[in-house]
Structure 1
Amino acid sequence: MHATIHGERMLTDLDFSRLSKLPGHPLSPSLADLLASAEVTSSRAVPSDVVTMYSRVELVDVHTARRQTLTVCYPGDAEPAAGFISVLSPVGNSLLGLKVGDVAKWSTPSGDECAAEVAAILFQPEATGDYQT
């Protein structure tokens, strides 16, 4: 059960800092890889087409064309049934730092390979001037 990192990803300095020291949650290998390889930029400079923490994204499954809206959040705020997915989950980890048009790829707990295109960012905190979320 892991997310695969494909290509360049971007994190805000605040997301990077908070994810680097999540209390009570050891870093998964995939999150550690993301933190080690991501480009880090200031919250004020992050482009509005990049998935940051608490971004609400519209995904399109590359195999079924099914659309889904998810919000990437910290573990304590995760409510999968309501569309809030933890950044520590394979899906959440695979989305963070991607841009609109990129394809997120991850494995399910049963080993199935999944892929979905980031079709749109419906909400990004930084784009609304919220640099502290």
Structure 2
Amino acid sequence: MPATIHGERTLTELDFVRLGKLTGQQPPALAELLDMADVMPSREVPADIVTMNSQVEVEDPSTQQRQKITLCYPGDSQPGAGFVSVLSPVGIGLLGVKTGTLARWDMPNGAEGATRVVAVLYQPEASGDFAT
């Protein structure tokens, strides 16, 4: 079942290009995101947008439990340590959303997952790292 991209999304030009190169690995939801997202220069992306390699604090809307997640490329994924692949449903749900947004995604079992982005704790672009 294909995922549906919920809400507005903003990607940096660098993230857009790098994610586009993950050919053969792209789930349909990532291809949909790349087609629909607003793309802007890395230096212009607001600091409250979740970009690749951002560390975010998220909150489960039903339990109010919070956790830190770092959005990463597939090779760096370590879900138990909080490093979530952009190719996962959660990763696709978080990419390009801004603080305060309820990120949503379709899980493999057909249920919908959701988490609220409480804060972007670290964003490479906001820290002046435009090559990450």
User: Residue in 1 aligned with 2:81?
Assistant: 82
Deviation, structure 1 residue 47 = 0.3
For residues 33-68 of structure 1, what are the alpha-carbon distances to aligned partners after superposition, in whole Å with 9 as ceiling and x for unaligned? 000000000010000000000000000111111101
Distance 1:83-1:65 versus aligned 2 partners, 3 A rule: same
| 8 Å contact kept, 1:100–1:118 | yes
Q: What TM-score, normalized by structure 1, do the two folds share?
A: 0.93
User: Residue in 1 aligned with 2:17?
Assistant: 17
For structure 1, the residue ranges without an aligned partner over 5 or more in a row are none
User: Residue in 1 aligned with 2:6?
Assistant: 6
Code of the aligned partner of 1:76: G
Deviation, structure 1 residue 113 = 2.0
For residues 90-125 of structure 1, what are the alpha-carbon distances to aligned partners after superposition, in whole Å with 9 as ceiling and x for unaligned? 000100000001111123333332211100001000
User: Residue in 1 aligned with 2:51?
Assistant: 52
For structure 2, the residue ranges without an aligned partner over 5 or more in a row are none
1:64-103 matches, cutoff 5 A: 64-103=63-102
| 8 Å contact kept, 1:3–1:91 | no
Alignment RMSD, CA only? 1.4
Code of the aligned partner of 1:8: E
User: Residue in 2 aligned with 1:40?
Assistant: 39
Q: For residues 112 and 7 of structure 1, what CA distance do their matches in structure 2 show?
A: 18
% identical aligned pairs: 58
User: Residue in 2 aligned with 1:63?
Assistant: 62
Distance 1:61-1:4 versus aligned 2 partners, 3 A rule: farther
> Which 4+ runs in 1 deviate beyond 6 A?
none
Q: For residues 122 and 100 of structure 2, what CA distance do their matches in structure 1 show?
A: 16
State the secondary structure of the residue aligned to 1:4.
Answer: coil
Q: For residues 131 and 3 of structure 2, what CA distance do their matches in structure 1 show?
A: 26
Instruction: Tell me the matched-pair count.
Output: 132
